[in-house]
């Protein structure tokens, strides 16, 4: 019989709906049940594409004996971290404080007041490698609760108090001027892996935000080193196994330093951020690879993550039928079965498929270390391999539509579509935006997620407001439609009203002032897998400030936010990539290009404008486009107006003049 999760909107929770454990969704009723029974809460947090979440579910949560023990001694709550990032943030802080590390599945034991007293991550069914077995852990926690409950509650209260104190701690403000940006670039580049690209050692994650920062730094300063680091990293990632050589798109990370063996889950946010980087690099490079990868990544987003309602699904699982890489890895024999001997030998050499294998069980991930000597043959071989792979079992798809991540995809598709002349990408971005505005806005407030056209109950957090606003501002620029600008500014106003810390200028909480109260009100300043809510908001505020609506207010708020994060950005730039991206735009003005009366001149502006530049086009005094107000044609023909801050150059009328005008900007 299905448990209480059967009506959830989260695919992760639905994966557990048939467990024999009597799971609850996060709710006041669940904690009231724990208080009435005087038992602790077992909180399990994960997400649908998580490999070890699947393992623990199979080993423990699906086991009748384990379920009987949990049901007798606990109230069990299951949370999708992607649907409730606020809950995840609070208890991940506790897990990291108690164990020195974090990860998913996250396993926490709480008092009925929600205070944590023991936290960890994955626990195996039986003890191994120094870890207790899960049932062994359940026994120990139950014994402590029953025999020493007062001490457990007291300890949990102290832990909760320390976590609240830690969440309230702030870094001193600092400016992020040109010198600070140059210093941050130097520090970032010092960690560059000269041999394989990227930063640091294994496991190696695509450093999208750091790369975008370095691209903007190169455009502002002319730094060849910044551009080299980006180009090398982009090339190594694109040619490695982390990049799907058949279908496009990138896996979550590489387990090795060489980008060969991925952790196979594909996340919407990674691919959105990487599309932005490759699309930006394509505008600066004569190498055809960045443009090809941008096009393949956009195709993956639309084809494989697009939902029937017009949004973008969250992820593809790491596993297929419980096996990592089952869909994606190849042996030489499998190549021969599909291609025949001659093409298989050619493809094996091209894609580094060896008898020994680069992955597991003699299989290899597909790499493309060099461009094929016969592009037509490669196109045919690739199509045949892709068709054969489509007949294999496929990874499950988490089709939950997350507002923030869709905002990132909207931004990337709108920007890259406009710059690389792919209007269909802009159309896909607009469809996703329409879905979010039609479905995720309820009673004037933003919700976090939906699935299959049904909106979830979780309130939108700061990153949802900021990333969606940023995407709508990109759509306004790509289409010239005023409606995107209007909704974006409403979202920014909501963020300033409900998420700002009234006691500390420039600081924001991740939850609204009228959201559900947790142990403490979470806030995140560092950029991790995605931009933190505060850095995304700073970027959106800065863009809005030069699009002509309430410029002074938005500019002031963006500057205050950047000062609040300045110490982090200067001292730890790899954890502040999006902050630094916004700071680079602010240092340049941001630049504004208003093009009146000419699509060719507008297209040129979009291709050559530095990252962070606001580019808008249309007819003079086009209704609803503030940046075009008072910008007439020149001698009856198209013209481009280039401005920095509140200072504008004389209008230019040719592509060559526009290029020169932008190159002259500091």
- pLDDT tens digits for 175-190? 999 999 999 999 999 9
Same domain, 194 and 300: yes
CA-to-CA distance for 270 and 315, rounded, in angstroms? 10
93: nearest Cα among 16, 162, 24: 162
Specify the residue for token string 């025999």. 147
Cβ–Cβ < 8 Å for 498, 514: yes
pLDDT higher than threshold 80 for residue 665: no
pLDDT of residue 3: 87
Return the percentage of the chain with pLDDT > 70, whole number. 99
Residues 283 and 387 in one domain: no
| 396: confidence class by pLDDT, cuts 50, 70, 90 | very high
Q: What is the pLDDT of residue 666?
A: 59
The mean pLDDT value of the chain amounts to: 95
What percentage of residues in the chain have a pLDDT greater than 90?
A: 90
**Residue 621 pLDDT:** 84
* Residue of 200, 279, 289, 285 lying closest to 243 (CA atoms): 289
Q: Which of 100-104, 249-253, 643-647 has the highest mean pLDDT?
A: 249-253
312 & 387 share domain: no
pLDDT of residue 1: 58
CA distances from 436 to 154, 194, 301 (A): 44, 42, 17
Domain-terminating residue out of 544, 560, 587: 587
Between the two ends of the chain, the Cα-to-Cα distance in Å is 66
Q: Above 90 in pLDDT, residue 486?
A: yes
Give the domain range for residue 638.
591-663
pLDDT in tens, 367-385: 999 999 999 999 999 999 9
**pLDDT over 70 (residue 639):** yes
Range in 53-57, 198-202, 545-549, 645-649 with the lowest mean pLDDT: 645-649
Whether 623 has a pLDDT exceeding 90, the answer reads no
pLDDT greater than 90 at residue 191? yes
The residue from 113, 137, 168 where one domain ends is: 168
Do you find a cis peptide bond into 402, omega within 30 degrees of 0? no
Same domain for 189 and 164: no
| Rounded to 5°, angle at Cα 274 from 268 and 276 | 105
State yes or no: pLDDT of 2 exceeds 80: no
pLDDT (mean) for 293-315: 98
Judge whether residue 274 has pLDDT over 70: yes
Last residue of a domain, one of 168, 192, 226: 168
- Whether residue 664 has pLDDT greater than 80: no
pLDDT at res. 550? 82
Mean of pLDDT values over 607-627: 91
Neighbour count for residue 222 (Cβ, 10 Å): 10
Query: What is this structure's pTM?
Result: 0.96
Given phi > 0 = left and psi -120 to 50 = alpha, else beta, which region is 534?
A: alpha
Judgement on whether residues 549 and 643 belong to the same structural domain of the protein: no
CATH number for the domain harbouring residue 502:
1.50.10.10
Please give the tally of structural domains in the chain. Answer: 4
pLDDT of residue 330: 98
Q: Domain with 134 in it: what CATH number?
A: 3.40.30.10
Tens of pLDDT, residues 126-135: 988 878 999 9
Q: Is the pLDDT of residue 51 over 90?
A: no
CA distance 435 to 262: 32
Encoding tokens for residue 370? 């060099």
What is the spatial distance between Cα 296 and Cα 291, in angstroms, rounded to a whole number? 9
Average pLDDT over residues 337-352: 97
**pLDDT score recorded for residue 357:** 96
Rounded average pLDDT over 224-252: 98
Q: Specify if 322 maps to a domain.
A: no
* Alpha carbon distance 270, 274 (integer Å): 6
Q: What is the mean pLDDT of residues 23-35?
A: 97
């Amino acid at each position: 019989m299905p448990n209480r999760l059967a009506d959830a909107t989260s695919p992760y929770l639905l994966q557990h709906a048939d467990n024999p454990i009597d799971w609850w969704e996060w709710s006041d009723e669940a904690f009231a049940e724990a208080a009435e029974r005087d038992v602790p809460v077992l909180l399990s947090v994960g997400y649908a594409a998580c490999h070890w979440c699947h393992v623990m579910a199979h080993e423990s949560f699906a086991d009748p004996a384990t379920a009987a023990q949990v049901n007798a001694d606990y109230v069990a709550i299951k949370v999708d971290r992607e649907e409730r990032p606020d809950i995840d943030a609070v208890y991940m802080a506790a897990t990291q404080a108690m164990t020195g590390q974090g990860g998913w599945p996250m396993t926490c034991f709480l008092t009925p007041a929600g205070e944590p007293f023991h936290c960890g991550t994955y626990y195996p069914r039986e003890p191994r490698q120094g870890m207790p077995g899960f049932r062994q852990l359940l026994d120990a926690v139950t014994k402590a609760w029953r025999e020493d409950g007062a001490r457990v509650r007291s300890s949990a209260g102290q832990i909760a108090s320390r976590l609240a104190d830690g969440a309230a701690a702030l870094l001193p403000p600092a400016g992020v001027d040109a010198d600070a940006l140059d210093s941050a670039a130097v520090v970032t580049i010092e960690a560059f892996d000269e041999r394989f690209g990227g930063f640091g050692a294994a496991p190696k994650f695509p450093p999208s935000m750091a790369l975008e920062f370095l691209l903007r730094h190169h455009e502002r300063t002319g730094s060849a080193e910044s551009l080299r680091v980006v180009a090398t990293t982009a090339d190594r990632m694109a040619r490695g196994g982390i990049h799907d050589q058949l279908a496009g798109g990138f896996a979550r990370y590489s387990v090795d330093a060489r980008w060969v063996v991925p952790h196979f889950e594909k996340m919407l946010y990674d691919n959105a951020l990487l599309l932005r980087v490759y699309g930006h690099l394509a505008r600066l490079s004569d190498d055809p690879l960045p443009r090809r990868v941008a096009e393949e990544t956009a195709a993956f987003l639309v084809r494989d993550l697009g939902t029937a309602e017009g949004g973008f699904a969250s992820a593809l699982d790491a596993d297929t039928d419980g096996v990592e890489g089952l869909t994606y890895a190849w042996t030489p024999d499998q190549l021969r079965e599909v291609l025949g001997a001659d093409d298989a030998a050619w493809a094996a050499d091209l894609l580094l498929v060896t008898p020994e294998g680069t992955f597991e069980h003699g299989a290899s991930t597909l790499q493309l270390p060099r461009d094929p000597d016969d592009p037509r043959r490669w196109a045919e071989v690739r199509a045949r391999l892709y068709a054969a792979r489509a007949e294999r079992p496929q990874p499950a798809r988490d089709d939950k539509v997350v507002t923030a991540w869709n905002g990132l995809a909207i931004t990337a598709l709108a920007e890259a579509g406009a710059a690389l002349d792919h209007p269909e990408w802009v159309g896909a971005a607009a469809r996703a935006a329409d879905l979010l505005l039609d479905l995720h806005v309820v009673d004037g407030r933003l919700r976090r997620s939906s699935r299959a056209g049904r909106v979830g109950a979780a309130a939108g957090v700061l990153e949802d407001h900021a990333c969606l606003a940023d995407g709508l501002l990109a759509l306004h620029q790509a289409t010239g439609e005023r409606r995107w600008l209007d909704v974006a500014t409403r979202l920014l106003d909501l963020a300033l009203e409900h998420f700002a810390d009234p006691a500390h200028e420039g600081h924001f909480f991740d939850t609204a002032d009228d959201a559900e109260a947790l142990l403490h009100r979470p806030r995140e300043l560092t950029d991790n897998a995605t931009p933190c809510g505060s850095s995304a908001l700073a970027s959106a505020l800065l863009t809005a400030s030069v699009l002509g609506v309430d410029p002074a207010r938005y500019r002031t708020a963006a500057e205050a936010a950047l000062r609040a994060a300045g110490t982090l950005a200067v001292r730890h730039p790899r954890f502040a990539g999006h902050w630094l991206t916004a700071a680079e735009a602010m240092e340049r003005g941001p630049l504004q290009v208003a093009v009146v009366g000419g699509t060719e001149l507008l297209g040129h502006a979009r291709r050559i404008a530095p990252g962070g530049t606001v580019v808008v086009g249309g007819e003079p005094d086009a209704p609803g486009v503030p940046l075009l107000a008072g910008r007439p044609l020149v001698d009856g023909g198209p013209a481009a107006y280039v401005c920095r801050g509140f200072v504008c150059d004389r209008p230019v009328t040719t592509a060559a003049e526009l290029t020169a005008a932008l190159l002259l900007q500091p």
